[in-house]
Amino acid sequence: MNTLNKTLTCTVAALTFATALYASETDVLVINEEITIPTSAPAPEGSPLDKVISGWSFRKHETQALQMDDFDNPSFIFVDKASDQWTKVEGTEGKSCASCHEDVEAFKGLRTVLPRWNEAKSELYSMENYINDCRTERMGAEPWKWSKGKMTAMTALISLQSRGLPMSVKTDGPVEPAMKLGKELYYTRVGQLDMACSNCHEDNYGVMIRADHLSQGQINGFPTYRLKNSKLNSTHARFKGCMKNIRAKPFGQGSAEFKALELYVASRGNGLSVESPAVRN
C-alpha cells in the first residue's frame, strides 16, 4: 500500500482508490468534425511525467462527446454572451473592448503564453489581470470578480482564439520566483488529508477516486464548463475546489499563490493543445 492510500484509508474511509484504469489514449478529439486536437504530447524538459495528457482523455465518452461539437458544448452559451459583452460600452470613458481591440481574433495565441510577467506592473499576470486592467484603467469601469460569470465568459471567448495551439508559458527570467513558489505549493502536503497536488495528479493519475477518473490536473481546457455546477469554471476556482476536497484552506482566487500555481501547472502542460472552453464533470 503506498503512502497515499495509507493516508486516505486512515483519514477518510469515504475516499477510495480502485485499481489503475488508464486514460483512453486511443480516443481522438475532433471538434465539429473538422478540428483534430492532439490530447497528449511529449512531456516538457525536466518534467516528472513521461508524457502530458489532457483531462479530456480521462472523461467518460458522454462527457467527451459534449466537447466534440460546439453546439453541444454548453460553454458556447457563455462564449456568445461574451461576444455581446465585447461590443458593450461601459464605464466613464464610453468604450467597449471593441473600441480598442476591434476583433477578438487578434488574441490568437495569447492563452498559450499566460500567465506571464507583466513588465510594466512588475507582476505575474493571468488573463483576468489584463482584462481587469483594461476595465479599470482604460474604460473607467468596475473590475469583474475573478471567477464570476462575466469574467469566465470573456476568458473563454479569448482563450477559444487559441484552441488547438500548444501551451508554451515562459518559465525563466523574472517569473523564476513564481515558478519556484508554484512548484513548492504543488508538492507541499496540506489540509486534514495531508495531501499535495502531486499525490493525486502525478502519482495516481489514471486511477479511480470515488467515481472520478484522476487526470494529470492539466489546465489546457480552462475555463472549463463543469456538469457539476453547470457553468464555466476558472483555473483558480478548480484549484480552490481541489484544496477544499483535501480539507485545506484555499488561497484566494487571483492571489499571488494561485497565480504562481497556475503558472507552474501550465508549465507542466507545455506542449499540450489548448482546448478551452472544455467540458468536464
Binding of residue 239 to ligand HEC (CB under 6 A): yes
Selected binder of ligand HEC within 197, 232, 272, 279 (CB under 6 A): 197
Shortest Å, Cβ 81 to ligand HEC? 13
Shortest Å, Cβ 252 to ligand HEC? 14
Beta-strand (E) ranges in the chain?
17-20, 29-31, 35-37, 40-42, 51-53, 116-118, 123-125, 207-209, 212-213, 224-226, 231-233, 278-280
Binding of residue 29 to ligand HEC (CB under 6 A): no
Shortest Å, Cβ 54 to ligand HEC? 7
Residue 35 bridge partners (DSSP): 31
Closer by beta carbon to ligand HEC, 232 or else 265: 265
Selected binder of ligand HEC within 41, 52, 154, 279 (CB under 6 A): 154
Which DSSP state fits 90?
A: B
Cell 488508464 belongs to residue? 22
Binding of residue 236 to ligand HEC (CB under 6 A): no
Cis-peptide into 44, omega within 30 deg: no
Closer by beta carbon to ligand HEC, 76 or else 237: 237
Closer by beta carbon to ligand HEC, 76 or else 278: 278
Binding of residue 207 to ligand HEC (CB under 6 A): no
Binding of residue 246 to ligand HEC (CB under 6 A): yes
Binding of residue 9 to ligand HEC (CB under 6 A): no
Q: Could you tell me whether strands 207-209 and 212-213 are parallel, antiparallel, or unpaired per DSSP bridges? A: antiparallel
Cα 66 to chain centroid, rounded = 18
Comparing CA positions, the residue from 32, 162, 148, 163 lying closest to residue 85 is 148
Binding of residue 21 to ligand HEC (CB under 6 A): no
Site for ligand HEC in 75-134 (CB under 6 A): 95, 97, 99-101, 110, 127, 130-131, 134
Q: How many residues does the chain have?
A: 281
Selected binder of ligand HEC within 219, 232, 237, 266 (CB under 6 A): 219
Active site residues: 242
Selected binder of ligand HEC within 57, 67, 218, 270 (CB under 6 A): 218
Closer by beta carbon to ligand HEC, 70 or else 187: 187
Contact 263, 179 (CB under 8 A): yes
Closer by beta carbon to ligand HEC, 95 or else 231: 95
Comparing CA positions, the residue from 228, 197, 236 lying closest to residue 215 is 197
Contacts within 8 Å (CB) and 24+ apart, 47-53:
47/268, 48/202, 49/202, 49/216, 49/268, 52/216, 52/218, 52/268, 52/269, 52/270, 52/271, 52/272, 53/23, 53/25, 53/205, 53/215, 53/216, 53/218, 53/272
Selected binder of ligand HEC within 201, 231, 236, 259 (CB under 6 A): 201
Q: Could you tell me whether strands 212-213 and 17-20 are parallel, antiparallel, or unpaired per DSSP bridges? A: unpaired
Interface residues with ligand HEC (CB under 6 A)?
55, 58, 95, 97, 99-101, 110, 127, 130-131, 134-135, 138-139, 154, 158, 195, 197, 199-201, 209, 212, 214-215, 217-219, 221, 224, 238-239, 242-243, 245-246, 261, 265, 280
